[in-house]
Amino acid sequence: MKLHANIIGQGEPLLILHGFLGMGDNWKTLGKQFAEEGYQVHLIDQRNHGRSPHSEEFSYAILAKDIKNYCREHNLNKVVLMGHSMGGKTAMKTAVSYPELIKDLVVVDIAPRYYEPHHQTILEGLTMLADAKLTSRQDADKKLAEFIDDWGVRQFLLKNLFRKDNVLKLRVNLPVLKSKIENVGAALEEGELFEGSALFINGGNSNYVRSNDRDLIRKYFPSSQLVTIKDAGHWIHAEKPEVFYQAVLRYLNR
């Protein structure tokens, strides 16, 4: 499977993996900033997301293999791999499975433990959009507001819409993501280990990484460091982009 990616800049490879129901373009602004620092930034759409191919298969072992194959296709070695939420899970699985590929690992607001499915309302809303055959983004936002109050979350989700035959359709492979929702929260397996350099960044207002997750993170990533960004929730890179950017740069330039 050939993953779609937007590649920005020249230099050391930095691969960025979006979260559940996202796409690489969500990171375009930060991607351009990292490119200005001398990185070749790869904003990757993971399978069943964005412009990457759809598939009946969806697990972190498969997503990690996708990243390995992407690196091989683009002749990339010793990459910086950064992922947010679901993308962070993929990044962790890639690191423990193919440690030779990774120079530095950055995991954003997610831990190696199991997370119960918690996107049901969002998936219901997107299913309604997929069935409604809408032609206006404004109408789509109104419909989605019946399920999701938060304007910012709706705008993030509406980025999945594209126009085909004058009807708005979704880029995400909704049927497979709904059927494989348990896999999205999967934990790393017992005994998996990445001894290389790793940075875990969490939002001070987020409940995705709890204080008792720190020992678990160090169990799988013994050389990791943890940074908490105050007054930030799960979407640290969107809520506190400059603070987040500087924290990652300090780590990479250490």
* Residues in contact with 113: Cβ distance below 8 Å, sequence separation at least 6, in sequence order: 187, 213, 216
Question: Is residue 110 a contact partner of residue 216, using CB atoms and an 8 Å limit?
Answer: no
Return the closest-CA partner of residue 133 out of 123, 147, 143: 143
Residue with tokens 């640290």: 236
Question: Is residue 14 a contact partner of residue 42, using CB atoms and an 8 Å limit?
Answer: yes
Catalytic residue among 85, 197, 206, 224: 85
- CA neighbours closer than 13 Å in the CB half-sphere of residue 45: 21
- CA neighbours closer than 13 Å in the CB half-sphere of residue 77: 2
Catalytic residue among 49, 84, 234, 237: 234
The helix/strand/coil state of 102 is: strand
Question: Is residue 41 a contact partner of residue 16, using CB atoms and an 8 Å limit?
Answer: yes
The helix/strand/coil state of 39 is: strand
Question: Is residue 174 a contact partner of residue 184, using CB atoms and an 8 Å limit?
Answer: no
User: Which residues, in sequence order, are bridge partners of residue 41?
Assistant: 8, 14
| Catalytic-residue membership of 234 | yes
Q: What is the CA radius of gyration of the chain?
A: 18
Residues annotated as part of the active site: 85, 234
